[in-house]
Amino acid sequence: MNRMHVALGLGSLVVAAAMLGGCSGSSDQDTKLTSQPTSSGGEDAKIREALAKLSAEDRALAEAQGTCPVGNGPLGAMGTPPIVEVKGRKVFICCEGCRDSLESDPDKYLAKLDKKGK
């Protein structure tokens, strides 16, 4: 019985870490945003499939944005990118784990997107 509790506890810990971890990027990273995701051939297909689930207008915006301003990963690599409206602007993020950071400091992340657009 004791081993079963340990196994269940470890399994719960792994699930919780995966749920809380969000994306693999860090909001403190200042890696250069690119307009095109950098990924392998299989990853490209996964990204195209995820972005295809967006409306044509949103897909064009997500493709132009290219990467998550918070996690710095390619949009679509973690599934269909969530849309967050901040300061009257649509911003795509790689995962829900990035939402709080974007909403708590929108100026920081909008500035990253504006800098990338130049």
User: How many domains does one find in the chain?
Assistant: 1
Output the pLDDT for position 50: 97
Q: Is 72 left (phi over 0), alpha (psi -120 to 50) or beta?
A: left
Sole residue written with tokens 């901040």: 86
Confidence at residue 31, expressed as pLDDT on a 0 to 100 scale: 38
Token pair recorded at residue 34: 């690119």
User: Which segments in the chain show pLDDT lower than 50?
Assistant: 1, 4-20, 25-37
Residue 11: inside a domain: no
For residue 17, is it within any domain? no
Predicted pLDDT of residue 104: 98
pLDDT of residue 6: 40
Distance (Å, whole) CA 102 – CA 97: 10
Is residue 6, in this structure, part of any structural domain at all? no
Q: What pLDDT is attached to residue 4?
A: 43
Domain limits for position 31: 24-117
Domain assignment present for residue 73? The answer is yes
Q: What is the pLDDT of residue 68?
A: 98
Single-letter code of the amino acid located at 48: R
In a domain, 38, yes or no: yes
Amino acid letter for position 5: H
Q: What pLDDT, on a 0 to 100 scale, did the predictor assign at position 43?
A: 87
Q: Is 103 exposed, middle or buried (0-12, 13-18, 19+ CB in 10 A)?
A: middle
